[in-house]
C-alpha cells in the first residue's frame, strides 16, 4: 500500500511551542508543502519575525535569518537584491507587519521586490501577551484595550491586503484563512501560487492569512474558530485582491 | 595607478568597488549624499547592486539581510542617519555578520548642522545601539587615508565577522584631494559557507544555517556575549593603529587628536617648533581599539607635563585619553562642535597658556 500522508521535508521534527488552537502550525505546514512541491528547499531563505513565530526557524529545515520587529521586508530586500537566485520569504504577524513594519512592507511591495510575504493576521499581539494590534476589531478586548478597542481613539482596523492592493506595482495580493479544512485547501493553493510567482521571478507576492489566537482572545479553540469566521471574515473578506497580468 | 583628484565622498564609493564590494544600499543625507549619487551610476557599470532604501532604518536591515546571505555589502550615512541604523548595527553585531558602515559626521545633537563634527565618537566607539557590542572604528585624516581604510575595512569585517565603521567628518567627505587606489588593497571575499544563509544548494549541504541574535537560554546568551568579547579583545591586540608625530623631540606637551582635527594640530606643532616649543602628537587611526599603550607611554616620558585631547566634540575622546593616562599627567580637553574647525592660532594660544 502506498504512503498517503507524510510530513513535508521542509518541516523539522521539532514540536512547536504554539498554543492549542493556534493556526501557526497549519500555516507552517502549508509553506513547507509548497516549498517541497516546488523543489526549492535548497535555495530558500526564510525571515523569522519578532512575535510568536520568532522561533519559526526551529520548525523548518532550510536557511533562516531572524529580523528585528517589522524589518523583515528590508532584510528580504537585501538578500534578494544580492542573490536573486534565492527564494526568500518573510513570515510576519499583524503587530510586526501592520504596525511597526508598515513602512518596510509598503516600500518593499511598491518596489516590486520579488520575494513572498506570509502575513498572519490574528488581530492581536501574541507573544507580548495580547495587546491591541492595528488589526484588532472594534470593541475587541485586549490587554491594552481592556474595555474593548475604542475606534474613536484608535481608528478602524487596517485592511492590509486592500491597502497594499492600492499600489500599482505589487503583483499578487490575496487574503486567505486556515480556520476550517475548506479554507485550508484554498490557502495552500494561494501560498503555492505566491511562491510560484517568485520562482518565475515575476512579482512581489503576499498572502494574508486570517488566523486565530484562542489564548489572547480568551476563548476555547472552537469558540475562536467561530469568532474568526463570524467577526473577522466579514471585515477581512477572503479572495484574490491582485493578480499579475 | 596615477593619482586622480576626487571629492572624499566619491573616492569612498570608488574605494569600495576597488576593494571588491559590489553591493551598496543607502539613504540620502547631507554631507555624504554624493556617495549615493556617485554609486547610482558607478555600481551598475561595475555590475553591482545599488538601491536607495526608504529610510536609514530599512537600509540598516538591507545591509543585515545581504551580509547574512554572505555578500560583501556597505552603506554610507551621516549622524542622524547612523542613529537610525544603530538598531540594525546592534543586530548585525549580535548575529556576527561582516558589514561596513561609513559615517561622515555632521554636527548634533538632533538635526544639529551640516558642517563637520566629531561628536559621534561615543556613538561609534561605545555602542550606539543596545547591548554589549563594539565596532572596529577607523578614522581617516585625508581622502587618501579614507580610501585605504575603506578598502581595508572589508577583509577586517570578514576576519572578525563584525561591523566595521569608518568615522569621517564632513570635511573628509566634502574636500577634494589627489588620491590613488592601491591595487594591493583589493581582496576576495572569504568563504562564508559555515554560517551564511546563502542557500543549502550553494554550499552542497543539507544543514540549515541560521543568522540570529536571539538566545533565550541565559547560558547560551552569555556564551554568545563571551564570544563577542573574545573578538573585541583580539582586536585590541591585533588592530590598534596610530600615527606618532614629533615624538622623538624633547616635547613638553602631548596632543591626542584624530581625523581632520589632527591636521590642524600638525600645523600647531610645526608652528610651535619654530618658536622653540616642542609638542608631540599621537593620532589614533583606530578609535576602537584605542591606542591605549601608545598614549600612556608617550605621556609618561620625563618632560611631558600635560596632555591635550583636541577634538570637534564637547569632550568625548578625552574620557578615553584620561583612562589611558591613569592620572599620571593632567589631561585637558579643547574643542568646538558647531561646525567651525578650531584654528591653529587658538590651539597654540591654549597650549602656551598651560605650559
Q: Name the closest residue on chain B to residue A9, using Cα atoms.
A: B206
pLDDT in tens, B230-277: 999 999 999 999 999 999 999 999 999 999 999 999 999 999 999 999
pLDDT tens-digit map of A67-99: 999 999 999 999 999 999 999 999 999 999 999
Return the pLDDT at A4.
Answer: 86
Q: Do B69 and A82 touch (CB under 8 A)?
A: yes
Q: Is there a contact between A84 and A77 (Cβ–Cβ < 8 Å)?
A: no
Give me the DSSP letters along B257-277.
--HHHHHHHHHHHHHHHHTT-
In this prediction, residue B1 has a pLDDT band, given cuts at 50, 70 and 90, of low
| Chain segment B63-100, per-residue pLDDT in tens | 999 999 999 999 999 999 999 999 999 999 999 999 99
All domains of chain B in start order, with CATH: 4-238 (3.40.50.970), 243-354 (3.40.50.920)
Summary mean pLDDT of chain B? 97
Q: Work out the mean pLDDT of chain A and round it to a whole number.
A: 97
B residues 164-223 closer than 8 Å to A (CB): 197-202, 208-214
Q: Using one digit for the tens of pLDDT, what is the confidence trace for A158-183?
A: 999 999 999 999 999 999 999 999 99
Residue A184: pLDDT band by 50, 70, 90 thresholds?
A: very high
Kindly state whether B63 is in contact with chain A, defined as any CB-CB distance less than 8 angstroms: yes
Q: What is the CB neighbour count within 10 angstroms for residue A85?
A: 10
Domain boundaries of chain A, sorted by first residue = 24-242
Share above pLDDT 70 across residues of chain B, in percent, rounded to a whole number: 100
Q: What is the pLDDT of residues B159-218, one digit of tens each?
A: 999 999 999 999 999 999 999 999 999 999 999 999 999 999 999 999 999 999 999 999
Peptide bond into B109 cis (omega under 30): yes
> To the nearest whole angstrom, how far is the Cα of A119 from the nearest Cα of chain B?
19
Contact call for B71 and A82, based on CB within 8 A = yes
A77/B213 Cβ within 8 A: no
Q: What is the band of B2 on the pLDDT scale with cuts at 50, 70, 90? A: confident
Distance CA B276, CA B271 (A): 9
Helices (H), chain B: 8-19, 33-45, 56-68, 79-94, 121-126, 143-160, 170-174, 218-238, 259-274, 292-299, 317-325, 344-354
8 Å CB contact of A45 and B199: yes
From the candidate CATH numbers 3.40.50.300, 3.40.462.40, 3.40.50.2300, 3.40.50.970, the one assigned to the domain spanning A24-242: 3.40.50.970
Question: Which residue from A minimizes the CA distance to B63?
Answer: A78
Q: Would you list the DSSP string of A88-115?
A: EEEEEEHIIIIIITHHHHHHHHHHT-S-
Q: Is the ipTM of this complex over 0.90?
A: yes
pLDDT per residue as tens digits for the range B333-347: 999 999 999 999 999
H-helix or E-strand containing A186?
A: helix A181-199
Q: What are the DSSP calls for B7-60, one per residue? A: EHHHHHHHHHHHHT--EEEE---TTSHHHHHHHHHHHHHTT-EEEE-SSHHHHH
Amino acid at each position: 500500500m502506498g504512503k498517503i500522508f507524510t510530513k513535508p521535508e521542509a518541516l523539522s521534527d521539532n514540536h512547536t511551542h504554539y498554543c492549542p488552537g493556534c493556526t501557526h502550525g497549519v500555516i507552517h505546514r502549508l509553506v513547507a508543502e509548497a516549498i517541497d512541491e516546488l523543489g526549492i528547499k535548497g535555495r530558500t531563505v526564510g525571515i523569522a519575525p519578532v512575535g510568536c513565530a520568532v522561533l519559526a526557524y526551529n520548525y523548518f529545515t532550510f536557511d533562516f535569518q531572524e529580523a528585528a520587529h517589522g524589518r523583515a521586508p528590508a532584510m528580504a530586500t537585501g538578500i534578494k537584491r544580492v542573490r536573486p537566485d534565492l527564494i526568500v520569504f518573510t513570515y510576519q504577524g499583524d503587530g510586526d507587519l501592520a504596525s511597526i513594519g508598515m513602512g518596510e512592507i509598503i516600500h518593499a511591495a511598491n518596489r516590486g521586490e520579488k520575494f513572498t510575504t506570509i502575513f498572519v493576521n490574528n488581530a492581536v499581539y501574541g507573544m507580548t501577551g495580547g495587546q491591541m494590534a492595528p488589526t484588532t476589531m472594534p470593541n475587541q478586548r485586549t490587554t491594552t484595550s481592556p474595555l474593548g478597542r475604542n475606534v474613536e481613539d484608535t481608528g478602524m482596523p487596517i485592511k492590509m491586503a486592500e491597502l497594499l492592493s492600492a499600489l500599482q506595482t505589487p503583483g499578487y495580493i490575496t487574503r486567505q484563512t486556515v480556520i476550517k479544512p475548506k479554507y485550508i485547501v484554498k490557502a495552500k493553493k494561494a501560498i503555492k501560487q505566491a511562491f510560484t510567482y517568485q520562482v518565475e521571478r515575476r512579482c512581489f507576492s503576499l498572502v494574508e492569512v486570517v488566523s486565530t489566537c484562542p489564548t489572547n482572545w480568551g476563548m476555547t479553540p472552537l469558540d475562536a474558530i467561530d469568532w474568526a469566521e463570524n467577526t473577522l471574515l466579514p471585515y477581512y473578506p477572503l479572495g484574490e485582491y491582485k493578480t499579475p497580468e | 595607478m596615477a593619482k586622480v583628484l576626487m571629492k572624499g565622498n566619491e573616492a569612498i564609493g570608488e574605494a569600495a568597488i576597488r576593494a571588491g564590494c559590489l553591493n551598496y544600499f543607502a539613504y540620502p543625507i547631507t554631507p555624504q549624499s554624493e556617495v549615493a549619487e556617485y554609486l547610482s551610476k558607478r555600481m551598475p557599470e561595475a555590475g553591482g547592486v545599488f538601491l536607495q532604501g526608504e529610510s536609514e532604518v530599512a537600509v540598516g536591515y538591507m545591509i543585515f539581510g545581504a551580509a547574512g546571505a554572505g555578500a560583501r555589502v556597505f552603506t554610507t550615512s551621516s549622524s542622524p542617519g547612523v542613529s537610525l541604523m544603530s538598531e540594525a548595527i546592534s543586530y548585525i553585531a549580535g548575529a556576527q555578520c561582516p558589514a561596513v558602515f561609513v559615517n561622515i559626521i555632521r554636527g548634533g545633537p538632533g538635526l544639529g548642522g551640516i558642517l563637520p563634527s566629531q561628536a559621534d565618537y561615543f556613538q561609534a566607539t561605545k555602542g550606539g545601539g543596545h547591548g554589549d557590542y563594539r565596532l572596529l572604528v577607523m578614522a581617516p585624516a585625508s581622502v587618501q587615508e579614507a580610501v585605504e581604510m575603506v578598502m581595508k575595512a572589508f577583509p577586517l569585517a570578514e576576519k572578525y565577522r563584525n561591523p566595521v565603521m569608518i568615522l569621517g567628518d564632513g570635511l573628509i567627505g566634502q574636500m577634494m584631494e589627489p588620491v590613488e587606489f592601491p591595487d594591493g588593497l583589493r581582496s576576495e571575499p572569504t568563504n562564508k559557507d559555515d554560517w551564511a544563509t546563502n542557500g543549502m544548494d550553494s554550499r552542497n549541504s543539507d544543514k540549515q544555517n541560521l543568522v540570529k541574535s536571539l538566545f533565550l537560554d541565559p547560558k547560551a546568551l552569555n556564551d554568545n556575549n563571551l564570544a563577542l568579547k573574545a573578538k573585541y579583545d583580539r582586536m585590541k591586540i591585533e588592530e590598534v593603529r596610530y600615527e606618532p608625530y614629533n615624538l622623538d623631540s624633547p616635547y613638553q606637551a602631548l596632543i591626542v587628536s584624530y581625523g581632520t582635527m589632527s591636521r590642524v594640530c600638525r600645523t600647531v606643532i610645526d608652528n610651535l617648533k619654530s618658536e622653540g616649543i616642542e609638542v608631540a602628537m599621537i593620532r589614533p587611526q583606530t578609535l576602537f581599539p584605542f591606542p591605549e599603550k601608545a598614549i600612556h607611554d608617550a605621556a609618561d616620558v620625563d618632560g611631558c607635563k600635560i596632555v591635550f585631547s583636541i577634538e570637534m566634540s564637547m569632550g568625548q575622546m578625552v574620557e578615553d585619553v584620561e583612562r589611558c593616562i591613569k592620572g599620571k599627567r593632567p589631561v585637558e580637553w579643547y574643542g568646538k562642535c558647531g561646525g567651525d574647525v578650531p584654528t591653529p592660532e587658538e590651539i597654540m594660544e591654549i597650549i602656551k597658556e598651560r605650559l
